[in-house]
């Protein structure tokens, strides 16, 4: 969902949401809450603990808050 969202292409977002069960699917709804919450952040360091509680088990959290994230 994150990579589809980053394309800013609504057809890609819709297709990806469809693969995940549609716009009402729990993972899609949780991603929407994450992006809404993230858009309201004024101080990332201060928001990090609360986001970790809510989204710490998601890839989105690590992409947004962990600067040293790397892949092999």
Tell me what pLDDT residue 22 has.
94
pLDDT tens sequence across 36-62: 999 999 998 899 999 999 999 998 888
Nearest residue to 38 via CA among 50, 26, 20: 50
Tell me what pLDDT residue 69 has.
58
pLDDT tens sequence across 1-32: 888 888 889 999 999 999 999 999 999 999 99
């Amino acid at each position: 969902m994150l990579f589809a969202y980053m394309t800013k292409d609504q057809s890609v977002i819709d297709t990806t949401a469809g693969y995940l069960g549609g716009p009402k699917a729990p993972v899609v709804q949780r991603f929407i809450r994450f992006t809404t919450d993230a858009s309201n952040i004024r101080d990332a360091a201060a928001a990090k603990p609360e986001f970790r509680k809510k989204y710490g088990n998601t890839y989105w959290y690590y992409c947004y808050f962990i600067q040293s994230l790397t892949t092999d």
